[in-house]
Each structure stands twice: as C-alpha cells, then as structure tokens.
Amino acid sequence: MAAAQFPALELPEIAFLGRSNVGKSSLLNTLAGEKTAKVSSTPGRTRAINFFALLDPSQRRKLVFADLPGYGYAKISKSVSEGWPAFIEPYLAIRSTLKLCVCLVDSNVPPQESDRQLIDWLRAAGRDLAVVATKIDRLSGNERTRNLLALKKGLELEDVLPVSAKTGYGLKELWARIEGASVAQG
C-alpha cells in the first residue's frame, strides 16, 4: 500500500502503536466502545492499518483512531522496522492529520529496545506522543511505582500514563490527552 492510498480524512487522527500482545486491541475496544465505525483498512488482517471514526466521550468531536500493526513479535524481529510493512514509516512521517501517537508499553515488562527505537524515531520525526503503560491492574502498588519508574528511565520519558483496559484505570486521563492533542494547532 502506498502512502497516497491512505484514506483522505479531514478529522484529527490518533495513532495507536505497540508490540504485539501489549493490549492494544483491548484498549481500543474499551476506549472506542460500541460507537466505532470502521471506515477503511489496508489489505491483510494483522498487518493493516485500521482506521476507525468515532466520537469523543463528550459526543461533540469526531476523531479517527488509526490502529497500527503490532511490532516486535516474539524474538524474530528485535527492531521496529524489521518485519513492519513498508507503508508504516511514511504514514507516521507524512500523515498531516495525525495529531498524537499513543505508544503502548506493557507495565509488566521491562523497557524494550524496540519500544525505545519507535519512541526515538517518533521524537526525531517531531511527532507528539503519549506513552501509555498497559495492564496496570496486574501490579501491586509497589510494583506499579517501580515498573513505571523503570519505564520512564529506560525510555527517557517525562511521563508515562498507567492504564487498564480491564478496570478502566487511567482512561479518563488518556482521553484528556487525546482530546487536548486533537484541538492542538499544527
């Protein structure tokens, strides 16, 4: 798929990225609920970018969520670009309606090189990004603090947003970040 073939949407777009099994589908389902409408997808199932049009929780603003294929599956591909379809990088680099990249990392797993690479790449590309630590419900209070700190250090982040698709923890904060980015200029 060439970049020119991405759907020409006028709406603010939010991309969701993460290693396979990070909990991306679960989070998207929880955020988007029943209101999603699948507007387009590239061919193939797991390796496609799926675009969803939806309304924000206030029901006022229309947004598009772009669900990107998971990367770094198993031990085969350690880097992001390895095993990633060629259209992903151009999408992330030139998509003009893309307002925010939500990078998912597993709060139960130490910082990963592939996540680091993606985050560094997005920073170099000048993208606004929010790093979200998934499955936070699996951790006790002490483990949360420790793991979130490790992620911040390992990925060189000022902030990481803990969430749980299972309990709904952190979703309000994530929505606020998404809405803030959606109205941002540029």
**Which residues in this chain contact ligand GDP in the complex, by CB under 6 A?**
18, 20-26, 70, 134-135, 137-138, 164-166
Give min distance, CB of 130 to ligand GDP, in A: 16
Closest to ligand GDP by CB, 28 or 122: 28
Of 26 and 36, which has the nearer Cβ to ligand GDP? 26
What residues have CB less than 8 Å from 53, skipping those under 6 apart?
A: 9, 11, 36, 37, 39, 62, 63, 64
Q: Where are the alpha helices (DSSP H) in the chain?
A: 24-32, 88-94, 113-124, 141-154, 171-183
Q: CB of residue 168 vs ligand GDP: minimum separation in angstroms?
A: 9
Q: How far is the CB of 180 from ligand GDP (least distance, A)?
A: 23
- DSSP 8-state code for residue 21: T
For residue 116, which of 10, 18, 183, 1 has the smallest C-alpha distance? 18
CB 173, min distance to ligand GDP, A: 15
C-beta closer to ligand GDP: residue 36 or 97: 36
Cβ nearer to ligand GDP, comparing 98 with 105? 105
What does the alpha-carbon distance between residue 147 and residue 133 come to, in Å, rounded to a whole number?
A: 9
